Amino acid sequence: MAMMADNVFLKILDRSIPAKVAHDDDLCLAFHDVRPQAPVHVLIIPKKVIRTHADVTAADREVLGHIHLVAAKLAADLGLADGYRLVVNCGDRGGQTVPHLHFHLLGGR
Ligand code: 5GP
């Protein structure tokens, strides 16, 4: 069954809306946040549909580990050798506004 692009990140994944892509591979996509909260603000998302951090299962170990490796590499590539924040908002009361798991990579300030 075709994936329903019912949120903005699925639309970015299927390229029906544009994004400034920082990294793309089989498991994840990283792109610059449209409303950056820091000089570097990249979002890293799994290609697999995972709606929130609370929905992860043991089957997601590989993609979650991979996202952390990509985050560290992007931080180095984007000039964040001095440090950065990697943030996940989970659920309505955790400040999550887009219902597809995403990691905020923030730094440069
Ligand atoms: P949340 O609040 O769910 O943790 O973070 C969602 C993030 O997605 C926000 O920082 C917001 O600026 C970003 N965002 C929302 N819509 C778009 C979009 O269409 N393109 C990009 N690149 N980022 C978006």
In the three-class reduction of DSSP (H, G, I as helix; E, B as strand; rest coil), residue 54 is classed as helix
Determine contact, residues 66/79, Cβ cutoff 8 Å: no
Please give the distance, rounded to the nearest whole angstrom, from the Cα atom of residue 93 to the centre of ligand 1.
16
Q: Is the CB of 29 under 6 A from ligand 1?
A: no
Which active-site residues does the annotation give? 102
Q: What number does the ligand 1 atom closest to the CA of 32 have? A: 22
Cα separation, 99 vs 109, whole angstroms: 28
Name the closest-CA residue to atom 4, ligand 1: 96
pLDDT at 15: 95
- The pLDDT of residue 1: 40
Return averaged pLDDT per consecutive 10 residues of the chain, 109 residues in all.
75 97 98 98 98 98 98 98 97 97 96
The token pair at 103 is: 């990691």
Q: How far apart are CA 92 and CA 89, in angstroms?
A: 9
Q: What is the pLDDT of residue 4?
A: 61
